[in-house]
Amino acid sequence: MLTRRLLLGWAARFAVAGYFFLVSGMLIGFPADIGGTLALFFAVAGLALSMARRARIPGESLLPFTLAAALFVPLWAYAAVAAALAAALAWSPPAARTVSRVELVRAFTERMVRRTSAAFLDVWALLPPGRPVRWPNALAGRFVVTRYVVTGTLARRHLLGTSVFLALSVLAAHATFPAIQPVWLLGLGGYVALLPFTAPVAQLHRVPGLRRWLAASDVRLHATTAAFLCALALAWGAVIVLLGLPASVAAAVAMLVAALAAVRSVTRGPLDFSAMNLVLYEGVLIPTGLLRQLVRGPDLLLLGLIATSFVPL
Protein backbone atom coordinates (compact mmCIF):
# COMPACT_ATOMS: atom_id res chain seq x y z
CA MET A 1 0.00 0.00 0.00
CA LEU A 2 2.77 2.43 0.92
CA THR A 3 4.70 1.51 -2.22
CA ARG A 4 1.63 2.12 -4.36
CA ARG A 5 1.07 5.55 -2.80
CA LEU A 6 4.72 6.39 -3.29
CA LEU A 7 4.59 5.43 -6.97
CA LEU A 8 1.32 7.28 -7.56
CA GLY A 9 2.62 10.45 -5.93
CA TRP A 10 5.89 10.26 -7.85
CA ALA A 11 4.13 9.64 -11.18
CA ALA A 12 1.60 12.44 -10.60
CA ARG A 13 4.25 15.04 -9.82
CA PHE A 14 6.41 14.29 -12.83
CA ALA A 15 3.34 13.96 -15.07
CA VAL A 16 2.33 17.50 -14.11
CA ALA A 17 5.89 18.73 -14.74
CA GLY A 18 5.91 17.03 -18.14
CA TYR A 19 2.52 18.51 -19.02
CA PHE A 20 3.68 22.05 -18.25
CA PHE A 21 6.85 21.42 -20.26
CA LEU A 22 4.79 20.37 -23.28
CA VAL A 23 2.40 23.32 -22.95
CA SER A 24 5.27 25.81 -22.59
CA GLY A 25 7.02 24.26 -25.58
CA MET A 26 3.91 24.57 -27.73
CA LEU A 27 3.44 28.20 -26.72
CA ILE A 28 6.98 29.58 -26.80
CA GLY A 29 8.95 26.79 -28.47
CA PHE A 30 11.03 23.86 -27.26
CA PRO A 31 14.72 24.22 -26.29
CA ALA A 32 17.36 23.61 -28.93
CA ASP A 33 18.81 20.60 -27.12
CA ILE A 34 15.53 18.72 -26.71
CA GLY A 35 17.34 15.39 -26.34
CA GLY A 36 19.44 16.57 -23.42
CA THR A 37 16.40 18.13 -21.78
CA LEU A 38 14.40 14.90 -21.97
CA ALA A 39 17.38 12.87 -20.75
CA LEU A 40 17.76 15.20 -17.77
CA PHE A 41 14.03 14.97 -17.02
CA PHE A 42 13.95 11.17 -16.94
CA ALA A 43 17.26 10.94 -15.05
CA VAL A 44 16.02 13.30 -12.34
CA ALA A 45 12.74 11.37 -12.16
CA GLY A 46 14.67 8.14 -11.60
CA LEU A 47 16.90 9.80 -9.01
CA ALA A 48 13.86 11.07 -7.09
CA LEU A 49 12.33 7.60 -7.03
CA SER A 50 15.59 6.03 -5.87
CA MET A 51 16.05 8.57 -3.07
CA ALA A 52 12.51 7.95 -1.84
CA ARG A 53 13.61 4.45 -0.77
CA ARG A 54 16.16 5.81 1.64
CA ALA A 55 16.04 7.74 4.88
CA ARG A 56 15.75 11.48 4.58
CA ILE A 57 19.07 13.31 4.36
CA PRO A 58 19.31 16.77 6.00
CA GLY A 59 19.19 19.41 3.28
CA GLU A 60 18.03 17.07 0.51
CA SER A 61 15.15 19.45 -0.28
CA LEU A 62 17.77 21.87 -1.60
CA LEU A 63 19.02 19.40 -4.23
CA PRO A 64 16.68 20.74 -6.96
CA PHE A 65 18.55 24.04 -6.77
CA THR A 66 21.60 22.31 -8.21
CA LEU A 67 19.72 22.34 -11.52
CA ALA A 68 20.98 25.90 -11.84
CA ALA A 69 24.31 24.31 -12.79
CA ALA A 70 22.64 23.33 -16.06
CA LEU A 71 23.32 26.90 -17.19
CA PHE A 72 27.04 26.14 -17.20
CA VAL A 73 27.23 22.33 -17.47
CA PRO A 74 26.04 20.52 -20.63
CA LEU A 75 22.65 18.89 -20.13
CA TRP A 76 23.92 15.49 -21.19
CA ALA A 77 26.67 15.60 -18.54
CA TYR A 78 24.21 16.63 -15.85
CA ALA A 79 21.79 13.90 -16.95
CA ALA A 80 24.58 11.31 -16.88
CA VAL A 81 25.48 12.23 -13.29
CA ALA A 82 21.83 12.06 -12.21
CA ALA A 83 21.36 8.70 -13.96
CA ALA A 84 24.51 7.28 -12.35
CA LEU A 85 23.35 8.36 -8.89
CA ALA A 86 19.89 6.93 -9.52
CA ALA A 87 21.35 3.59 -10.60
CA ALA A 88 23.71 3.46 -7.62
CA LEU A 89 20.91 4.17 -5.16
CA ALA A 90 18.54 1.75 -6.90
CA TRP A 91 20.96 -1.19 -6.61
CA SER A 92 22.09 -0.40 -3.07
CA PRO A 93 20.12 -1.67 -0.07
CA PRO A 94 17.73 0.93 1.37
CA ALA A 95 19.03 2.71 4.44
CA ALA A 96 16.30 2.09 7.00
CA ARG A 97 15.74 4.29 10.01
CA THR A 98 13.91 3.23 13.13
CA VAL A 99 11.03 5.57 13.86
CA SER A 100 10.16 6.17 17.48
CA ARG A 101 6.68 5.74 18.88
CA VAL A 102 6.41 9.49 19.47
CA GLU A 103 7.06 10.20 15.79
CA LEU A 104 4.57 7.55 14.68
CA VAL A 105 1.82 8.91 16.93
CA ARG A 106 2.54 12.49 15.88
CA ALA A 107 2.49 11.65 12.17
CA PHE A 108 -0.70 9.58 12.54
CA THR A 109 -2.41 12.40 14.45
CA GLU A 110 -1.43 14.95 11.82
CA ARG A 111 -2.72 12.68 9.07
CA MET A 112 -6.09 12.14 10.78
CA VAL A 113 -6.45 15.88 11.38
CA ARG A 114 -5.76 16.58 7.70
CA ARG A 115 -8.24 13.94 6.53
CA THR A 116 -11.00 15.20 8.82
CA SER A 117 -10.31 18.83 7.94
CA ALA A 118 -10.42 18.09 4.22
CA ALA A 119 -13.77 16.33 4.66
CA PHE A 120 -15.22 19.43 6.33
CA LEU A 121 -13.52 21.90 3.94
CA ASP A 122 -11.37 23.30 6.76
CA VAL A 123 -8.53 24.00 4.35
CA TRP A 124 -6.40 25.97 6.81
CA ALA A 125 -6.02 22.90 8.99
CA LEU A 126 -4.01 21.47 6.09
CA LEU A 127 -1.25 24.01 6.68
CA PRO A 128 2.02 22.33 7.68
CA PRO A 129 2.47 21.72 11.40
CA GLY A 130 5.40 23.14 13.29
CA ARG A 131 8.44 21.40 14.70
CA PRO A 132 10.02 21.86 18.13
CA VAL A 133 11.96 25.08 18.63
CA ARG A 134 14.94 25.16 20.97
CA TRP A 135 14.08 28.46 22.61
CA PRO A 136 13.64 28.20 26.40
CA ASN A 137 10.84 30.39 27.74
CA ALA A 138 9.95 31.50 24.22
CA LEU A 139 6.54 32.77 25.32
CA ALA A 140 7.62 34.15 28.70
CA GLY A 141 7.93 37.87 29.25
CA ARG A 142 6.56 40.86 27.39
CA PHE A 143 5.37 41.04 23.79
CA VAL A 144 3.76 37.60 23.94
CA VAL A 145 1.95 38.08 20.62
CA THR A 146 5.17 38.94 18.82
CA ARG A 147 6.95 36.02 20.48
CA TYR A 148 4.15 33.67 19.45
CA VAL A 149 4.25 34.76 15.81
CA VAL A 150 8.06 34.59 15.63
CA THR A 151 8.17 31.19 17.35
CA GLY A 152 5.50 29.83 15.01
CA THR A 153 7.56 30.98 12.04
CA LEU A 154 10.74 29.40 13.41
CA ALA A 155 8.82 26.16 13.97
CA ARG A 156 8.26 26.04 10.21
CA ARG A 157 11.81 26.89 9.22
CA HIS A 158 11.95 23.65 7.21
CA LEU A 159 9.71 25.36 4.65
CA LEU A 160 12.28 27.99 3.73
CA GLY A 161 13.44 25.77 0.88
CA THR A 162 9.94 25.93 -0.59
CA SER A 163 10.01 29.72 -0.40
CA VAL A 164 13.34 29.79 -2.25
CA PHE A 165 11.93 27.43 -4.86
CA LEU A 166 8.91 29.71 -5.35
CA ALA A 167 11.23 32.71 -5.74
CA LEU A 168 13.12 30.91 -8.50
CA SER A 169 9.80 29.89 -10.05
CA VAL A 170 8.74 33.54 -10.22
CA LEU A 171 11.99 34.38 -12.01
CA ALA A 172 11.53 31.47 -14.42
CA ALA A 173 7.92 32.45 -15.12
CA HIS A 174 8.98 36.04 -15.79
CA ALA A 175 11.63 34.87 -18.25
CA THR A 176 9.24 32.41 -19.90
CA PHE A 177 6.21 34.69 -20.09
CA PRO A 178 7.55 38.27 -20.27
CA ALA A 179 4.11 39.60 -21.25
CA ILE A 180 2.77 38.93 -17.75
CA GLN A 181 3.27 41.87 -15.42
CA PRO A 182 5.73 41.13 -12.59
CA VAL A 183 3.11 42.41 -10.14
CA TRP A 184 0.96 39.33 -10.71
CA LEU A 185 3.86 36.92 -10.44
CA LEU A 186 5.11 38.51 -7.22
CA GLY A 187 1.64 38.71 -5.70
CA LEU A 188 0.61 35.14 -6.43
CA GLY A 189 4.03 33.71 -5.57
CA GLY A 190 4.26 35.72 -2.37
CA TYR A 191 0.78 34.64 -1.27
CA VAL A 192 1.63 30.95 -1.72
CA ALA A 193 5.04 31.39 -0.07
CA LEU A 194 3.60 33.16 2.99
CA LEU A 195 0.59 30.91 3.61
CA PRO A 196 2.54 28.20 5.51
CA PHE A 197 3.83 30.82 7.93
CA THR A 198 0.29 31.94 8.81
CA ALA A 199 -0.38 28.55 10.44
CA PRO A 200 0.16 29.86 14.03
CA VAL A 201 -2.60 32.46 13.60
CA ALA A 202 -4.83 29.98 11.76
CA GLN A 203 -4.47 27.60 14.70
CA LEU A 204 -5.63 30.30 17.10
CA HIS A 205 -8.81 30.84 15.09
CA ARG A 206 -9.45 27.11 14.79
CA VAL A 207 -8.97 26.27 18.49
CA PRO A 208 -11.05 28.55 20.76
CA GLY A 209 -9.27 27.34 23.90
CA LEU A 210 -5.89 28.33 22.50
CA ARG A 211 -7.31 31.68 21.45
CA ARG A 212 -8.54 32.37 25.00
CA TRP A 213 -5.08 31.51 26.33
CA LEU A 214 -3.55 34.36 24.32
CA ALA A 215 -4.84 37.39 26.19
CA ALA A 216 -4.71 39.87 23.32
CA SER A 217 -7.32 41.57 21.19
CA ASP A 218 -7.98 40.47 17.64
CA VAL A 219 -6.80 43.85 16.36
CA ARG A 220 -3.44 43.48 18.10
CA LEU A 221 -3.03 39.87 16.97
CA HIS A 222 -3.88 40.61 13.34
CA ALA A 223 -1.78 43.79 13.23
CA THR A 224 1.28 42.04 14.68
CA THR A 225 0.93 39.12 12.28
CA ALA A 226 0.40 41.42 9.31
CA ALA A 227 3.44 43.54 10.19
CA PHE A 228 5.67 40.47 10.58
CA LEU A 229 4.46 38.88 7.34
CA CYS A 230 4.87 42.17 5.48
CA ALA A 231 8.51 42.22 6.57
CA LEU A 232 8.94 38.62 5.38
CA ALA A 233 7.22 39.43 2.10
CA LEU A 234 9.46 42.42 1.42
CA ALA A 235 12.56 40.35 2.20
CA TRP A 236 11.34 37.59 -0.14
CA GLY A 237 10.63 40.12 -2.87
CA ALA A 238 14.01 41.80 -2.36
CA VAL A 239 15.75 38.48 -3.03
CA ILE A 240 13.84 38.13 -6.30
CA VAL A 241 14.72 41.68 -7.32
CA LEU A 242 18.39 41.04 -6.58
CA LEU A 243 18.21 37.96 -8.81
CA GLY A 244 17.02 39.98 -11.78
CA LEU A 245 13.34 40.94 -11.56
CA PRO A 246 12.75 44.65 -12.29
CA ALA A 247 12.37 46.71 -9.12
CA SER A 248 9.43 49.09 -8.78
CA VAL A 249 7.09 50.55 -6.21
CA ALA A 250 4.31 48.38 -7.64
CA ALA A 251 6.35 45.28 -6.84
CA ALA A 252 6.64 46.31 -3.19
CA VAL A 253 2.92 47.08 -3.03
CA ALA A 254 2.16 43.66 -4.53
CA MET A 255 4.18 41.98 -1.79
CA LEU A 256 2.32 43.92 0.90
CA VAL A 257 -1.01 42.97 -0.68
CA ALA A 258 0.04 39.30 -0.68
CA ALA A 259 0.92 39.47 3.03
CA LEU A 260 -2.37 41.14 3.97
CA ALA A 261 -4.33 38.66 1.85
CA ALA A 262 -2.61 35.74 3.58
CA VAL A 263 -3.54 37.15 6.99
CA ARG A 264 -7.13 37.75 5.87
CA SER A 265 -7.38 34.17 4.61
CA VAL A 266 -6.56 32.51 7.92
CA THR A 267 -8.38 34.93 10.24
CA ARG A 268 -11.90 34.01 9.20
CA GLY A 269 -14.12 32.20 11.65
CA PRO A 270 -15.12 28.54 11.41
CA LEU A 271 -17.15 27.59 8.36
CA ASP A 272 -20.90 28.02 8.86
CA PHE A 273 -22.57 25.19 6.95
CA SER A 274 -26.01 26.52 7.92
CA ALA A 275 -25.44 29.58 5.70
CA MET A 276 -24.70 27.79 2.43
CA ASN A 277 -27.32 29.80 0.44
CA LEU A 278 -27.77 27.25 -2.34
CA VAL A 279 -28.47 28.78 -5.75
CA LEU A 280 -29.64 26.75 -8.76
CA TYR A 281 -27.66 27.69 -11.87
CA GLU A 282 -27.86 25.67 -15.09
CA GLY A 283 -29.15 22.70 -13.15
CA VAL A 284 -26.29 22.81 -10.63
CA LEU A 285 -26.69 23.74 -6.97
CA ILE A 286 -23.97 26.25 -6.05
CA PRO A 287 -23.36 26.97 -2.34
CA THR A 288 -22.74 30.70 -2.74
CA GLY A 289 -22.61 31.31 1.01
CA LEU A 290 -19.98 28.63 1.48
CA LEU A 291 -17.95 29.90 -1.46
CA ARG A 292 -18.09 33.41 -0.02
CA GLN A 293 -16.50 32.12 3.17
CA LEU A 294 -13.82 30.17 1.30
CA VAL A 295 -12.72 33.04 -0.96
CA ARG A 296 -11.94 35.30 1.99
CA GLY A 297 -8.34 36.34 1.39
CA PRO A 298 -8.00 35.54 -2.33
CA ASP A 299 -10.60 38.25 -2.96
CA LEU A 300 -8.33 40.87 -1.40
CA LEU A 301 -5.36 39.48 -3.33
CA LEU A 302 -7.21 39.66 -6.66
CA LEU A 303 -8.61 43.15 -6.14
CA GLY A 304 -5.31 44.45 -4.76
CA LEU A 305 -3.28 43.11 -7.67
CA ILE A 306 -5.77 44.50 -10.19
CA ALA A 307 -5.51 47.93 -8.59
CA THR A 308 -1.72 47.70 -8.38
CA SER A 309 -1.37 46.66 -12.03
CA PHE A 310 -3.52 49.52 -13.32
CA VAL A 311 -2.33 52.30 -11.03
CA PRO A 312 0.96 53.80 -12.30
CA LEU A 313 3.47 53.33 -9.50
Please give the average per-residue pLDDT across 94-111, as a whole number.
74
Domain span at 220: 128-310
On average, the pLDDT of the chain sits at 80
Residue 103 is assigned to a structural domain of this protein: no
Asked whether the predicted pLDDT for residue 188 surpasses 90, the reply is: yes
Share of the chain above pLDDT 70, in %: 84
Q: Which helix (H) or strand (E) holds 17?
A: helix 2-28
Same domain? 70 vs 153? no
**When comparing pLDDT for 238 and 132, which is higher?**
238
Q: Give the highest mean pLDDT range of 28-32, 137-141, 142-146.
A: 142-146
* Predicted TM-score (pTM) of this structure: 0.76
Backbone angles phi, psi at 308, to 5 degrees: -65, -35
Residue 192 is predicted with a pLDDT of 92
Residue 101 is assigned to a structural domain of this protein: no
Residue 57's pLDDT band (boundaries 50, 70, 90)? low
Asked whether the predicted pLDDT for residue 154 surpasses 90, the reply is: no
Same domain? 77 vs 190? no
Residue 106 is predicted with a pLDDT of 80
Q: What digits encode the pLDDT tens for the residues 221-255?
A: 889 999 999 999 999 999 898 888 888 898 899 99
Residue 70 is predicted with a pLDDT of 62
Same domain? 84 vs 183? no
List own/partner pairs for 293-297 with CB under 8 A and 24 or more apart.
Answer: 293/268, 294/121, 294/123, 296/264, 296/265, 296/268, 297/261, 297/262, 297/264, 297/265, 297/266, 297/268
Residue ending a domain, choose from 44, 64, 91: 91
**Which DSSP string do the residues of 99-166 spell out, in sequence order?**
PPHHHHHHHHHHHHHHHHHHHTT-GGGGSPPP-----TTTT-SS-HHHHHHHHHHHTTGGGHHHHHHH
Residue 214 is assigned to a structural domain of this protein: yes
